[in-house]
Structure 1
Amino acid sequence: MADGHAHAKPQHDYHIIDPSPWPFIGSIGALVMAFGGVGWMQYLKGNEFHVFGVNFATPWVFFIGLAIVLYTMFSWWSDTIKEGHEGHHTKVVSLHMRYGMIMFIASEVMFFVAWFWAFFDASLFPGEVAQYARAEYTGGMWPPKGIEVLDPFHLPLYNTIILLLSGTTVTWAHHALLHNDRKGLVNGLALTVALGVLFSIVQAYEYMHAPFTFHDSIYGATFFMATGFHGFHVLIGTIFLIVCLLRAMAGDFTPKAHFGFEAAAWYWHFVDVVWLFLFASIYVWASVGATIAVH
């Protein structure tokens, strides 16, 4: 009997996961969401989107796909947390999870490189944009002729301070966890979440009062794509931290086993660093010599 148990227990540090339905279900949800996104855009344009005789020009298909994706994320990560509680996250498994998170953040870096590339291509060569596209895109200058820009040392600076403070509070929470200070961990995470929510509120207010729109010029397009996707990442990071806060309050994390929190902290620091580059280039550098909007 003892020999049978010895053979039943894995004699290695790797975790062979059980068959999971979530990759397949998640793929179906992503497909439905992409298909629904096309239908939603056609709906907004007032067009029809017929497939097999059915008009899918409606936003509801997109939200059905989104619901499937969100449910998959919740269930899949719940299984991962359960595996950690069962002791499957050995040192080797944890190391590879960290490698995975690092590669994910690297892919996110390249995602933002694309938006910075678009911005600097248009801003450093406005004459070529006007020559090879349409003159009204830039008027041969940057910011484009007739565009009033946001004051970088008003709300953007305020948001920069907010994110820098959030970086210190999440670091405080991390150090508190390493020293098994549960109160400091919860307080640090709660403050980080509050600062993340405050950042999103300020950015939403800034967007509502921006003196230009997405359709005004290539300046507006590159501005809203770069800062908007960053804002979306802030929202995702805030949700990530809220989950960590709930888990911390439930006593999930320990000084030696807390990869979920560590991944959230890495992601949040990535969001901080991207914002510093956005603030320095799109807000500060691009406003030099431009007309600052007065509210």
Structure 2
Amino acid sequence: MSETASVEQALPVGSVDHRASGWYGILCVIATEGALFGYLLFSYFYYAAQLPASWSPEPHPSFAYALPATIVMLLSSGALWFAQQGLQRGIEMQHRLGLAIGIGLGLAFIALELFEWQSKPFSLTSGLYSSIYFTAAGLDLLHLGFGIVGVAAVLVWSLLGYVDARRDAPTVIMAAYWHFVTAVWLAVFVTFYISPYLR
């Protein structure tokens, strides 16, 4: 009877890595959201090429918060990779630690971005530049917020024993999404913080 009970309590393997339906779903999310950010950044470069330099209230943006935020975002992506590697090797502690560090660094990035916004000499409604900047940076921050919630859910599932080396789809999917958010921030950083110095 105990053998039967243990068999009945065993979790089904379910979706695995890239064979999970959620994997194709996240690829669709990345494609559509990537196009959205592409349009926003194209708008910036279009107006920068068409309008005089005075269109930007910040011709030489400060790196005081943006550079540390970029480093934090890259480290958070590394933490998710570390978590994924731990899961593949069956090291649960590494998996959970990587997820927890990723969440912590994501929250640190949000804090740095909010300080960055407070330091800006303009607001969302100040003009064309400010509306493009806050829309692009704000959407990236919103996506990161969703990522933090998703990674936190994966961490809880891991603590409950629902995620392991075979049932790894949630980690694979959330890691891909997190790396996408990191790539978007890098594009935003290059566009708004580095490109003005290249003119």
Contact 1:144–1:219 (CA under 8 A) maintained in structure 2: yes
Which structure shows the higher helix fraction?
A: 2
Does 1:249 find its partner at 2:159? yes
Using the aligned pairs only, state the percent identity: 24
What corresponds to 2:4 in structure 1? Answer: none
Alignment-derived partner of residue 215 in structure 1: 125
Asked if the contact 1:143–1:287 (Cα under 8 Å) also holds between the matched residues in 2, the reply is no
- Aligned residue pairs total 190
2:69 counterpart of 1:144: no
Q: What TM-score do the two structures reach when normalised by structure 2?
A: 0.87
The structure with the larger Rg is 1
Q: 1:166 aligns with which of 76, 82, 88?
A: 76
Task: Give SS of 2:55's match.
Answer: coil
Relative to structure 1, is the Cα distance of residues 196 and 176 closer, same or farther in structure 2, using a 3 angstrom cutoff? same
Whether the 8 Å CA contact 2:103–2:152 is kept in 1: the answer is yes
Cα distance, 1:93 vs structure 2: 9.5
Distance 1:157 1:249 in 2: 34
Q: How many angstroms does 1:96 deviate by?
A: 3.4
* Cα-Cα RMSD: 2.2
Report how far residue 150 of structure 1 moved: 6.4
Distance 2:130 2:172 in 1: 35
Unaligned runs of 5+ in 1: 1-84, 127-140, 290-295
Rounded Cα–Cα distance in structure 2 between residues aligned with 1:92 and 1:160? 28
- Looking at structure 2, the residues matched to 97 and 235 of structure 1 have their Cα atoms a distance apart, in angstroms, of 19
Which secondary structure does the structure 1 equivalent of 2:150 belong to?
helix
Paired residue type of 1:119: Y
Cα distance change, pair 88–177 in 1 and its aligned pair in 2 (3 A): closer
Q: Aligned partners of 1:281 and 1:93: how far apart in 2?
A: 32
1:106 and 2:27 matched: no
1:124 Cα deviation after fit:
1.4
1:286 deviation in Å?
2.4
Q: CA deviation at 1:258?
A: 1.4
Aligned match for 2:42, one of 114, 117, 127: 117
**Partner residue of 1:94?**
19
Cα distance in 2 between the residues matched to 1:224 and 1:259: 33
Structure 1 residues 213, 179: CA separation in 2 closer, same or farther (over 3 Å shift)? same
